[in-house]
Structure 1
Amino acid sequence: MLNRKSRINVSIGLCKLAALGILVVSSSIYAQQPPPPPGAYDAAPYLGQVRNTYVYGDIWERPNLSSRDRSMITVAVNQALYATNELRLHMGRALENGVTQSELSEIIAHVMWYAGFPTGVNAARVAAEVFAERNLPAIPPGASPRQPPTDPEVEFPEAYPQTPYLRDLLNQVVYAETWRRSELSPRDRSMITVAVGTALYASSEVRYHVGRALSNGVTQDEVSEIITHVTFYSGFPTGVNASRIAAEVFEVRGLPVAAGRFPGAPYLEELIDGLVYGETWTRDQLSARDRSLATIAVTIAGYQSDQLRVHLRRGLDNGVTAQEISELIAQVTLYSGFPTGVNGSRIFAEILQERGMPMPE
């Protein structure tokens, strides 16, 4: 048997080994992080800390999705959001994570149908620059030209009766052609489509494509992880919305649904309680009132109705007056368009009625 002194020495040695292990793992994680563009976080150092600690130190290291899968959905989301600088960075990272040139090319074409032609044009230009920087062929090896089906299967014969040409595009080009191209598997296409639908707050598309993803071999855990991952690129309101919808799809399919506030993406609860409200909202650089004003403005501009309701209530609780919110809606409308302002005004009226408060003058 070991004497007391020997046991103490063994314990100290084990503690040192554990500490060394933590240091090695931590160093390994940070070593894998892509360096940020020079000066990217000079004006917002806390944002740089969030990037290092949460985005790359946590989310990208989670085992539920491979690095390749994460790169694919990140490229897709940045294309959809027209986030050119981030798109350039993540196209390069995708190539390093095993996404091929032809797969990148196909992601661009696929996402274009869900986020609009201008996003595809922009992404194609960025991809050309990334390929040139890496001395890769301008035309991706293995990329095939368009091959329209001669007798396309009509998947949605009753879709869009008021706009039959749109129905033809949906059936003959999107599903009978694009979804069947071999450059990406149905699983890959489903993953990037769920990601883009999440990022764009496109609720009906998220609902349909979560179900399609499950049918195409994407697991329930992978769907949840896609939503969690995308949240850091398109904002927490988009993740909360997609989590709610995914949980409804899981339930309809008889799949187990996690307990908690965000059953479609359970890890969001820890992130929101910790990073969002436990950390960011409590920083003293902005008052709670100012943070409410900023959050209300963003959720108006994003047409994020559910989150707007939450933050209108929170704003009133944090000392923002009804007159100030009314003025904020008008201000934001000039920068995000009248549909967002009309929606914000309607929801704010509901909140005021709910609280028995008079309408602003």
Structure 2
Amino acid sequence: MNTMRQAPASETLSARQQAIVPIAATAAVGDMTRLSDALNRGLDAGLAVNEIKEVLVQVYAYAGFPRSLNALGELMKVLEARRGRGIDDAPGRLPSRRAPQGEALLAAGTANQTRLTGAPVKGALFDFAPAIDEYLKTHLFGDIFERDNLDWQSRELATVGMLAALPGVESQLQAHIRIGMNVGLGAGQLWQAAQVLAERVDADAGRRANEAIARHLASAAAPAR
């Protein structure tokens, strides 16, 4: 059954936002052929080089350093080829602030995580393995989300793209659909991101995103007990 939805005109992603989704997804699964096409589309849509770098660095948090490093290498090849064709892509800005260090980094990451999720994050898993809780707060929500040359909506579109492309991480995808809406993405924009995944990445990625969106909206609409 096809659950693809059409986003209303008032709630659509910009061409730049759309381009982020397949860049992140194809980088996460290591599909260099599709990544090369997605990178060219993204640059043509107006993504700055440093914005794309931010997306590809963020890949390490969800798909590992090898996929992130390979994707950054592919971006270097794409930029070199475009320069050879006389295309001078805008570098874009670098982060305007440095991430804090030590306890201040943990505090900043914890605050960012709480803002993104809407409540403090805790549970038995983090009590069982407190190191992963600290790494999430310091490395992901601290080091990465403190970098301000890519807005949080863009980072969440990238995260949804990555997680939808990776089988077996449906619970994390579900969480980031909710986080995406917490940072201001509308349901129509998320439906459109799912459509972009289906069209530019693969049908399974689009299906996983659609199912996660539908589950979230159904849960949000359910009456409180």
TM-score under structure 2 normalisation?
0.45
Select the structure with the greater relative contact order (CA < 8 A; seq sep ≥ 6).
Answer: 2
Larger Rg: 1
TM-score under structure 1 normalisation?
0.29
